[in-house]
Structure 1
Amino acid sequence: MFRSRSWATGWTALRLAMAALVAAAIIAQFVSSVAGAVDNGRDVLTIVTNFFSFFTILSNTASVGVLAWAGIRFLARGRRTEPDPLPLAAALAWVSTYMVITGVVYNLLLRGLPLQPETVAWSNEVMHVWGPLFLLLDLFLGPCRRRLPWRAALGAAIFPIAWIVYTLLRANFITNPTTGQPYWYPYPFLNPYESSWGSVIGYIIGIAVTIIVAAVGAVALGRARGSAAPTDPRVSRPGARHE
């Protein structure tokens, strides 16, 4: 069923609808954040930069791009159900990993914290619950899955590592626009001033391990459900080894 053209067409419509919903959620929260900065006399440039420094915003923005890419490509190619090209297959596995981690971290570590006045409630739920759930389902139900090599799971770690380095290096150069503190961290569990560096490092290691495990799971599901591309020379040669 999952490889039929009708299923692929229906799921593609859901992908495009979810991309539109997540994009609307990002825009709504962005507008509210900027409006709150203007109303309270905060530095708008800092607010905008901080907005795009949240892992949630970056992972959701990436998911919009990749879901739109997958949907538009499928329709533009006449709804053909051949396996996704390698870059798209890897991007789908990676954004699924990031979105699932976003949902898990938020609901385990941040759900009970009070929301900021500028937080748009429905947008918050879309980005932390419905978007991650859809990307998780997409691993099981999405059409045109292609088998990825196991090393693709390691590629999923590049962006989170770069984000962690950027966050920790930038934090002490930014004045918190809300509290006036001489530092700004996007999430309390990364803030050593509220706990300790030992706690921060522990969270980073825990999240890194979770990302790798989730990425391996995403690749494993793709390998179980997908197939190699017809033009892949490894499957066109008799006796070729598969990764």
Structure 2
Amino acid sequence: MKEKKSASGIYIFGSLISIIAVGLQLWVTLNNREVSILHTIIRFFSYFTILTNSLVAIYFTCLWLFPATKLGLFFNKFSTTTAITVYILVVGIIYNLLLRNIWTVTGWGKVADELLHSFIPVYFLVYWLFFTDRKKLEWNDALPWLYYPLAYLIYTLIRGSITHTYPYPFINVIKLGYQQTLINCLGVGVVFYGLFLLMIAISKKNNA
């Protein structure tokens, strides 16, 4: 993917701000832990928000420092960039529409919260819109992009059946049951797929 010259600064800032955001949230979480450090860290990385922001951090870091490596070349693909754009957008959309009013965060937790759920999703979208050459994508590109959220769902349900804890209320099988949980997940899946198709449509229009 041919990037504009100014994109190098985008990589550096994107890498640093996403690392800071995840690191700050981890620090806040550890300082407020009620279980062991190991258990807290495992639970921390069981949130889609944390995993996806970590993915963003790895993405920008690779394009900044390791662009010629296999991982750097993989992230340099426009298809990969588009998939990550949708992943982080869903983080922001679901949180701000469904979860923001469920709990109250203050202090450094508030800073981390806004970075993870608002600033970084918008930042990545702006990057996708203005700092990439939007190459043409095909409609069938969308299906493989669903593997990541699907793998996360399977992991979460299996882990939840063992630990009896779930990271988000809309996938809490204990309170909702499997039927309602799967209906909720289907709704989130529709959001993912709809955004995938929208991004593909934009790329097609750009290359018409």
Q: SS of 1:53's equivalent?
A: coil
For 2:204 and 2:63, how far apart are their aligned partners in 1?
Answer: 18
Aligned to 2:58: 65
| Partner residue in 2 for 1:209 | 190
Equivalences for residues 49-88 of structure 1 within 5 A: 49-72=42-65, 88=77
Q: Which amino acid aligns with 1:134?
A: Y
Unpaired stretches in structure 2, ≥5 consecutive residues: none
Does residue 167 in structure 1 map to residue 156 in structure 2?
Answer: yes
Alpha-carbon contact 1:66-1:91 (below 8 Å) kept: no
Aligned mates of 1:154, 1:49 — CA distance in 2: 29
Q: Distance in 2 between matches of 1:86 and 1:32?
A: 30
Alignment partner of 1:44 is 2:37 = yes
Bigger proportion of residues as helix: 2
Q: Match of 2:10?
A: 14
Counterpart position of 2:201: 220
* Residue 134 (structure 1) aligns with: 123
* Residues in 2 aligned to 1:108 and 1:142: alpha-carbon distance in whole angstroms: 27
Pairing of 1:116-155 with structure 2 (within 5 A): 120-155=109-144
CA contact (8 A) 2:21 2:115 kept: yes
Note closer, same or farther for the CA distance 1:14–1:100 as it changes in structure 2 (3 Å cut): same
Given that residues 75 and 81 in structure 2 are in contact (C-alpha distance below 8 angstroms), is that contact kept between their aligned partners in structure 1?
no
Higher mean alpha-carbon deviation, 206-215 vs 15-24, is at 15-24
Asked whether the 8 Å contact 2:10–2:127 carries over to 1, the reply is: no
CA–CA distance in structure 1, aligned partners of residues 199 and 61 of structure 2: 19
Q: Match of 2:118, as an amino acid?
A: V
**Letter of the structure 1 residue corresponding to residue 37 of structure 2:** V
Q: d(CA) in 2 for partners of 1:147 and 1:86?
A: 17
Match of 1:96 among 57, 81, 85: 85
Following the alignment from structure 1 to structure 2, what is the Cα–Cα distance between the partners of residues 27 and 86? 22
Q: Which residue identity is paired with 1:205?
A: L
Q: Which has the larger radius of gyration?
A: 1
Tell me how far 1:147 sits from its aligned partner: 2.6
Alpha-carbon offset, residue 187 of structure 1: 0.4
Segments of structure 1 that go 5 or more residues without pairing to the other structure are 77-83, 175-182, 228-243
Q: CA RMSD in A?
A: 2.6
For normalisation by structure 1, the TM-score amounts to 0.74
Q: Residue by residue, what CA displacement relative to the aligned partner does 1:71-128 show, whole Å, maximum 9, x if unpaired?
A: 4467x7xxxxxxx878622221111010010000000110101136897111110110
Query: Number of residues paired by the alignment?
Result: 203
Q: Distance in 1 between matches of 2:65 and 2:205?
A: 25
| Counterpart position of 1:193 | 174
Distance of 1:43 and 1:66 partners within structure 2: 30
Letter of the 1:213 counterpart: G
Give yes or no for contact 1:22–1:60 (8 Å, CA) kept in 2: yes
Q: CA deviation at 1:217?
A: 1.9
1:184: how far off?
0.7
